[in-house]
Amino acid sequence: MEKIKCLIIGAGPAGYAAAIYAARAGLNPVMYTGPQPGGQLMITNDVENYPGYPEGRNGPEMMEDFKKQAARFETDIRNEMITKVDFSGPVHKVWTEAGLEIHAHTVIIATGASAKWLGIPGEDRLQNLGVSACAVCDGFFFRKQEVAIVGGGDTAAEESTYLAKICKTVHLLVRRDEMRASKIMQERVMNTPNLIVHWNTSPEEVLGDDGVTGVRIRNNKTQEVSTLDVTGFFVAIGHKPNTDVFEDWLDRDDSGYLLTTPGRTFTKVPGVFACGDAQDKIYRQAVTAAGTGCMAALDAERYLVEQGV
Ligand code: NDP
């Protein structure tokens, strides 16, 4: 068993910002990165909206910067999962995947969110055989090929234009007659010649045995069913917060986002704080995640002072 002052769960912008603040405040934070160190920016292309990077910055490189900064102040960064928690007592108990029990005076939850899947036939079976939720990770494998991508938000807009630079043709499947992506992103979609938008269209099945050979689609207005001959199928329909491990101890909304006191990072358990996309379904930006990570570390620091730790 290990006793610590401050545990940070998650290593995206929120987790690293919390680590930088907690470490500089002398809380000797221990960070468990979870399965995707760096969080969602690891599967992002250029980040152009993070202040301080006038030319933009590649997502994984930006997260390497965050990590170096957290490590510079001696955050103890461990590439492992937290698989169980017990928030019943004043000292918060957590267990790692390898079975280590940790007793932490404060816990900062920065577990972020993960990609959602459609749940249609073929999607699961053909994952890593042509089905992907990350164009930036996997687009390379479909160079000069024909691919389809589903979604109508900023992620779908960004990923479809990214794929269009690599692939021969990209079919963007939008289930309504409009996209919810921001205007500037929609303009990029419309101005990309090898990107075909299929309005009112939903995929029904991903086809193929050892690899994707096509996708069966339905026009939601006419009910016409047809097949697109594609070798790649990308899903970009939003995200689910990674909060299941806390469900017995903390309040969550219907979508699984952790509930915090408005304007603060307090969960209902004293000493347990939540930040980043795990608790933010409105803004979900790297900069807002980092901002709430900072808030969580400041809240943790004040809590420890109040507790006399
Ligand atoms: P969103 O929740 O914004 O959009 C999800 C999209 O997927 C919607 O268009 C939705 O359709 C569609 N969808 C959901 N379920 C299905 C389904 N079963 N079948 C077909 N389509 C479906 O998620 P995003 O990941 O796009 O964006 C999340 C947040 O991140 C947003 O705030 C966005 O602005 C931000 N973001 C910003 C970026 C940037 O600034 N560079 C890049 C990427 C994301 P419908 O509209 O009909 O509900």
pLDDT digit string, tens, across residues 170-193: 999 999 999 999 999 999 999 999
Which atom of ligand 1 lies at the shortest distance from residue 282's CA?
Answer: 32
- Using CA positions, which residue lies closest to atom 18 of ligand 1? 118
**Do 1 and 86 form a contact (C-beta atoms < 8 A)?**
no
CA distance 247 to 239: 18
CA distance 110 to 243: 9
CA distance 230 to 299: 50
Tens digits of residue pLDDT in 77-127: 999 999 999 999 999 999 999 999 999 999 999 999 988 999 999 999 998
What is the average pLDDT across 5-34? 98
pLDDT recorded at residue 45: 66
CA distance 27 to 106: 10
Q: Which two tokens stand for residue 288?
A: 């807002």
CA distance 79 to 69: 17
pLDDT recorded at residue 47: 82
Which atom of ligand 1 lies at the shortest distance from residue 118's CA?
Answer: 18
Tens digits of residue pLDDT in 249-292: 999 999 899 999 999 999 999 999 999 999 998 888 899 999 99
pLDDT recorded at residue 41: 85
Q: Which residues of 50-67 are buried (b: 16+ CB within 10 A; e: fewer)?
A: beeeeeebebeebbeebb
Which atom of ligand 1 lies at the shortest distance from residue 119's CA?
Answer: 18
pLDDT recorded at residue 281: 85
Tens digits of residue pLDDT in 198-256: 999 999 999 999 999 999 999 999 999 999 999 999 999 988 999 999 999 999 999 89
CA distance 229 to 191: 23
pLDDT recorded at residue 36: 86
Give the mutation target among 154, 158, 198, 287 for probing the ligand 1 site: most ligand atoms within 8 A of CB. Answer: 154
Q: Where do the domains of the chain lie, and which CATH numbers do they carry?
A: 2-115+239-307 (3.50.50.60), 131-235 (3.50.50.60)
pLDDT recorded at residue 44: 67
pLDDT recorded at residue 284: 81
Q: Which residues contact 33 (CB under 8 A, 6 or more apart)?
A: 10, 11, 15, 77, 78, 79, 80
The angle formed by the CA atoms of residues 88, 93 and 98, to the nearest 5 degrees, is 140
**Enzyme catalytic residues:** 134, 137-138
List C-alpha distances in Å: 281 to 95, 240, 256, 257: 27, 9, 10, 7
Strands 214-219 and 225-228, by their bridges, are: antiparallel
Compute, in angstroms, the gap from residue 238 CA to the centroid of ligand 1: 5
Compute, in angstroms, the gap from residue 181 CA to the centroid of ligand 1: 7
Give the mutation target among 136, 175, 239, 288 for probing the ligand 1 site: most ligand atoms within 8 A of CB. Answer: 175
Count other C-beta atoms under 10 Å from residue 294's C-beta. 18
Tens digits of residue pLDDT in 41-66: 886 667 888 999 999 999 899 999 99
What is the average pLDDT across 10-16? 98
CA distance 283 to 266: 18
For residue 272, give the H/E element and its range.
strand 272-274
Compute, in angstroms, the gap from residue 106 CA to the centroid of ligand 1: 33
pLDDT recorded at residue 152: 98
The three-class DSSP label of residue 177 is coil
Q: Which residues contact 173 (CB under 8 A, 6 or more apart)?
A: 148, 149, 150, 151, 198, 201, 202, 203, 217
pLDDT recorded at residue 294: 98
Beta strands in 131-213 (DSSP E): 131-132, 146-150, 169-173, 195-198, 201-207
User: pLDDT band at residue 8, thresholds of 50, 70 and 90?
Assistant: very high
- Give CA 128 to chain center in angstroms: 19
> Percent of the chain, pLDDT > 90?
87
Q: Residue 137 above 80 pLDDT?
A: no
Q: Which residues contact 192 (CB under 8 A, 6 or more apart)?
A: 160, 161, 164, 170
**Do 10 and 34 form a contact (C-beta atoms < 8 A)?**
yes
User: pLDDT band at residue 129, thresholds of 50, 70 and 90?
Assistant: very high
The angle formed by the CA atoms of residues 165, 120 and 170, to the nearest 5 degrees, is 15
**Which residues are near ligand 1 (CB < 6 Å)?**
49, 118, 150-156, 158, 175-176, 180, 202, 237-239, 284
CA distance 51 to 237: 26
